[in-house]
């Protein structure tokens, strides 16, 4: 089967970023990349803050945060009254876990596709409360219907207190049917926390329509916001129970103010987030999404062909708009977290390419992203040089 044709590049898009031109940055999903216009927006806000800190941190700041919150919530199809700005998805997950009030007989059920730091957060909360953490195996080849049935069979009514699922997994770049999973959990009285770290900007979403109890997503990845910008969306029945990780002067105001206000935090990144969405819309939101997904698919096939991986062995991402794809590495390569990290560093140092290398279920996987600043020759150059690097051991 031939490699799919690459998408046409978006003219001038590369010039919107300050990325090192000598490096192929194929790992947008890790830390994102902030457009020049957004960087300048944040710098103007920092200049304002430093010109008169007392005035900047005065009463008008809460109004400006509320305006930003409403803007981001509208983009995500979420209720602004149930949306709080947080530093990242892991922070939002920690807030939700802390607010659940887990008890000794409770169980938190997640999957083996979950993000490592989130699993650590679950483990810590379970140690603190005496609750139990359990993980389900979801095969990469499973259909959406099969995934729903695996989760349905894994729920323990009366014991499972929370189901934690990714909307788009980080390690395996798989889009999960979260709305259907939420419906199944609701049938059994189980709350659901959706980790949607990669969704805002990459995929169209109507958060309220998903119906989750908690939904957390980063804007600093595919939404072009400054790093440290994410949102926690909470269903109405939980809002008066939300407890921030750190108490502030806004504690009495309740959610979302009690979560957002963190004294002398640098809020300029949050306030700049709408500029990231403006950049997306200026480029053409659907145009960007279509381009990125097609480019990631092209890169996946080019690298897979170079490694001798047949198309039938490439996992289906679960949806046409996914702008991250994975390629299985040869058996025995990067099968542990330590080995995966070492290989990623070697690729960066020797091939001048930034990629993600994951160890999932004892197998090494290379994850590639597609973004408007990437070009087809970056994937082709990686494909031409990667086999020799892997052969060196």
Neighbours of 356 (CB within 10 A): 22
Our measurement of the distance from residue 174's CA atom to the centroid of its chain's CA atoms, rounded to an integer in Å, reads 12
Distance (Å, rounded) from C-alpha 84 to C-alpha 216? 10
- Tell me the two tokens of residue 337: 């977290």
Distance (Å, rounded) from C-alpha 37 to C-alpha 17? 9
Same domain, 227 and 96: yes
Give me the count of residues in the chain.
393
- Give the alpha-carbon dihedral of 236, 237, 239, 245, to 10 degrees: -140
In this structure, are residues 223 and 269 in contact, taking their beta carbons and an 8 Å threshold? no
In this structure, are residues 242 and 105 in contact, taking their beta carbons and an 8 Å threshold? no
Q: What is the CATH number of the domain that holds 290?
A: 3.90.1150.10
In this structure, are residues 347 and 228 in contact, taking their beta carbons and an 8 Å threshold? no
- Give the alpha-carbon dihedral of 5, 6, 7, 11, to 10 degrees: -140
Distance (Å, rounded) from C-alpha 194 to C-alpha 213? 8
> Is position 48 within any domain?
no
Task: Work out the average pLDDT over 352-367.
Answer: 97
Same domain, 334 and 381: yes
Instruction: Name the domain boundary from 231, 263, 295.
Output: 263
pLDDT at 1 over 60: no
Task: Tell me the three state secondary structure of residue 216.
Answer: strand
- Tell me the two tokens of residue 163: 């189901």
**Residue 16: predicted pLDDT:** 98
- pLDDT of 271-322, one tens digit each? 999 999 999 999 999 999 999 999 999 999 999 999 999 999 999 999 999 9
Q: Would you give the end-to-end CA distance of the chain in angstroms?
A: 29
Residue 117's closest CA among 77, 95, 89? 89
Residues 6 or more apart whose CB falls under 8 angstroms from that of 96 comprise 193, 213, 214, 216, 232, 234, 242
**Residue 242: predicted pLDDT:** 97
Mean pLDDT of the chain: 96
pLDDT at 5 over 90: no
Same domain, 305 and 257: no
> Is position 50 within any domain?
no
Instruction: Give me the half-sphere count of Cα atoms (radius 13 Å) on the Cβ side of residue 210.
Output: 31
Distance (Å, rounded) from C-alpha 196 to C-alpha 218? 7
- pLDDT of 13-31, one tens digit each? 999 999 999 999 999 999 9
Same domain, 30 and 112: no
> Is position 270 within any domain?
no
pLDDT band at residue 393, thresholds of 50, 70 and 90?
confident
**Residue 217: predicted pLDDT:** 98
Distance (Å, rounded) from C-alpha 345 to C-alpha 355? 9
Same domain, 170 and 105: yes
Same domain, 193 and 310: no
DSSP string, 83-151: EEEES-HHHHHHHHHHHH---TT-EEEEETTS-HHHHHHHHHHHHHH--EEEEE---TT--HHHHHHHH
- Tell me the two tokens of residue 282: 């200026």
- pLDDT of 125-167, one tens digit each? 999 999 999 999 999 999 999 999 999 999 999 999 999 999 9
- pLDDT of 56-115, one tens digit each? 998 799 999 999 999 999 999 999 999 999 999 999 999 999 999 999 999 999 999 999
Give the DSSP letter of residue 220.
S
Same domain, 200 and 303: no
Same domain, 233 and 294: no
**Domain housing 340:** 13-34+285-391
- Tell me the two tokens of residue 385: 């040089």
Instruction: Name the domain boundary from 263, 293, 316.
Output: 263
Instruction: Name the domain boundary from 233, 263, 293.
Output: 263
> Is position 131 within any domain?
yes
> Is position 25 within any domain?
yes
Residue 248's closest CA among 61, 30, 107? 61
> Is position 5 within any domain?
no
Residue 160's closest CA among 120, 187, 121, 124? 187
Instruction: Indicate the number of domains in the chain.
Output: 2
Task: Tell me the three state secondary structure of residue 234.
Answer: strand
Distance (Å, rounded) from C-alpha 28 to C-alpha 296? 11
Identify the residue whose tokens are 């803050």: 49
Residue 13's closest CA among 30, 29, 33? 33
Residue 18's closest CA among 40, 1, 3? 40
Q: What is the CATH number of the domain that holds 125?
A: 3.40.640.10
Same domain, 136 and 184: yes
Same domain, 26 and 106: no
Distance (Å, rounded) from C-alpha 170 to C-alpha 301? 19
Same domain, 212 and 98: yes
Same domain, 110 and 231: yes
Query: Rounded to 5 degrees, what are φ and ψ at 205?
Result: -150, 145
């Amino acid at each position: 089967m031939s490699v799919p044709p690459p998408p046409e590049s978006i003219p001038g898009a590369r010039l919107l970023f300050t990325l090192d031109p000598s490096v192929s940055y194929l790992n947008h999903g890790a830390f994102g990349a902030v457009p020049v216009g957004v960087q300048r927006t944040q710098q103007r806000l920092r200049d304002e803050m430093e010109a008169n800190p007392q005035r900047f941190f005065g009463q008008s700041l809460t109004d400006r945060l509320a305006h930003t919150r409403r803007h981001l919530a509208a983009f995500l199809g979420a209720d602004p009254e149930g949306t709080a700005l947080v530093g990242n998805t892991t922070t939002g997950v920690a807030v939700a876990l802390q607010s659940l009030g887990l008890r000794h007989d409770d169980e938190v059920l997640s999957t083996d596709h979950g993000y490592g730091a989130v699993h650590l957060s679950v483990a810590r909360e379970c140690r603190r409360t005496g609750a139990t953490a359990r993980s389900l195996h979801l095969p990469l080849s499973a259909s959406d219907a099969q995934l729903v049935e695996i989760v349905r069979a894994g729920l323990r009514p009366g014991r499972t207190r929370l189901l934690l699922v990714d909307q788009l997994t980080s390690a395996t770049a798989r889009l999960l049917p979260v709305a259907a999973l939420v419906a199944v959990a609701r049938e059994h009285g189980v709350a659901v926390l959706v980790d949607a770290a990669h969704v805002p900007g990459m995929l169209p979403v109507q958060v309220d329509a998903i119906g989750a109890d908690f939904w957390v997503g980063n804007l600093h990845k595919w939404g072009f916001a400054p790093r440290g910008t994410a949102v926690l969306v909470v269903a109405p029945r939980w809002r008066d129970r939300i407890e921030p990780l750190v108490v502030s002067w806004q504690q009495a105001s309740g959610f979302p103010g009690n979560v957002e206000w963190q004294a002398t935090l640098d809020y300029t990144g949050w306030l700049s987030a709408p500029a990231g969405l403006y950049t997306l819309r200026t480029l053409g939101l659907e145009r960007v999404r279509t381009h990125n997904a097609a480019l990631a698919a092209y890169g996946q096939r080019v690298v897979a062909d170079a490694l001798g991986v047949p198309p039938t062995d490439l996992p289906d991402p679960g949806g046409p708009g996914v702008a991250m794809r994975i390629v299985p590495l040869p058996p025995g390569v990067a099968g542990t977290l330590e080995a995966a990290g070492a290989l990623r560093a070697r690729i960066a140092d020797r091939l001048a390419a930034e990629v993600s290398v994951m160890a999932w279920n004892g197998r090494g996987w290379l994850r590639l992203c597609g973004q408007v600043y990437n070009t087809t020759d970056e994937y082709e150059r990686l494909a031409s040089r990667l086999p020799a690097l892997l052969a060196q051991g």
